Amino acid sequence: MNIYDMTYQKLCDFLTEHGDKKSRAEIILSALYRNGISDLSLIEIPEKAKKLITDNFEIPTIECIDVSDGGTAVKYLFRLNDGNLVETVLMRHEYGASVCVSTQAGCNMGCKFCRSGRLRKIRNLTAGEIVQQVLYINRKTPLSGISVMGIGEPLDNFENVLDFVDIMLYPKGLALAPRRITVSTCGLVPQIEKLTEMHFPSNLAVSLHAPNNELRSELMPINKKYPLEVLMPAVTEFSEKLNKRVALEYVMIKGVNDSEKCAEELCRLIGESNCYVNIIRYNSSEGDIYECSDFEQIMRFYDVLKKNNIGVTMRREMGSSVNAACGQLRSDYIN
Ligand code: SAH
């Protein structure tokens, strides 16, 4: 088993089931996350306990096979134990650094504009494989935030992503503040409802990209299963019950979803809910049928939202120079 798959609770259970003390879990996890120990035999616990750990757990390799440094964004391509490739992006902000992690090898959501989905999902990543992306980068650059927005649909790998978040928040480990983690989804409604029920501690972002069903279903097939009249109430409920603002991501695609009419529709859709819009520049890659909206059009869109008192942020264009947008580096290798 991968030791990084273990939440505090799972490790406690393992230890007690094997006749050891539960209190060992804290020592093991802080050795891994606080002291950065990468050899299980170096953890300072009695020999018998150490044998139990080294007999049952390992630290599988994740090998970095390419790095492209674009200044504000650095993209890492990792090869997992079984040869699958995933991408992780380090983003340097004025206030610190954050990392964008992948949760699946491939993706089944099939969003038309997204590169990640060109390769169908091969498998879910384990919690440990997501953790290892963070640790690899955290060793060199201390991180102040994590976006679960890389390759894959996080809520389609629900249990492992929840374990991952749990491990990142563990107070004797990396101890990230819950608000420092954002999980982004294309809109899997049953899972959003579960997050609300379980009082998910971190933030949620929803990739919206269109203000009506007709357009959204064309861009994002998932909308046929969970259309806006189902999605928006689930998002509003999450926001209200957990008292968190939800980001609605909106990628600006020229002539497709960037008109003032779309902006007005978006305002009506958001209504009184506590959501805000995160405008993202579309990052095009070779052979793409879409391109990014003109700057002037993005500003007109922005102005409509502002005039209607909708909260709006604009993500700085970070990854484009290193092909860091969504599946691009990886697809350079695979195609
Ligand atoms: N599956 C999740 C998370 C991964 S995608 C989700 O859908 O939210 C992370 C974000 O990047 C999503 O908002 C996605 O729609 C967006 N994205 C995908 N391709 C893009 C591109 N070429 N340019 C800009 N943003 C893109």
Whether 26 is catalytic is no
- State both tokens at 168: 């990142």
Determine the 3-state secondary structure of 302 from DSSP: helix
Q: Of 257, 234, 250, 220, which Cα lies nearest the Cα of 311?
A: 250
CATH number given to 3-56: 1.10.150.530
**Residue 232 — pLDDT band, cuts 50, 70, 90?**
very high
Q: What is the CATH number of domain 63-334?
A: 3.20.20.70
pLDDT tens digits for range 142-185: 899 999 999 999 999 999 999 999 999 999 999 999 999 999 99
114 lines ligand 1 (CB under 6 A): yes
Ligand 1 contact via 156 beta carbon (within 6 Å): no
Whether 185 is in the pocket of ligand 1, judged by its Cβ within 6 Å, is yes
Of ligand 1's listed atoms, the one at least distance from the Cα of 100 is: 9
CA distance 69 to 86: 17
Residues of each domain in the chain carrying CATH 3.20.20.70: 63-334
87, 129, 153, 249: the catalytic one is 87
pTM of the predicted model as reported, rounded to 2 decimal places: 0.94
Q: Which residues of the chain does CATH 1.10.150.530 include? A: 3-56
**Are the C-beta atoms of residues 154 and 184 closer than 8 Å to each other?**
yes
Confidence class for position 334, pLDDT limits 50, 70, 90: very low
Q: How far is CA 11 from CA 41, 160, 278, in A?
A: 17, 15, 38
Q: How far is CA 186 from the centre of its chain?
A: 11
Give the CA count within 13 Å in the CB-facing half-sphere of 82: 8
Tokens of 100: 């964008």
Classify each residue of 242-281 as buried b or exposed e, where b means 16 or more C-beta atoms within 10 Å of its C-beta. Answer: bebebbbbbbbbeebbbbeebbbbbbebbeebebebbbbb
The per-residue pLDDT for 41 is 95
- Tokens coding 11: 């490790």
What would the pLDDT profile of 257-287 be if each residue is shown by its tens digit?
Answer: 999 999 999 999 999 999 999 999 999 888 8
326 is catalytic: yes
Residue 104 near ligand 1, beta carbon < 6 Å:
no
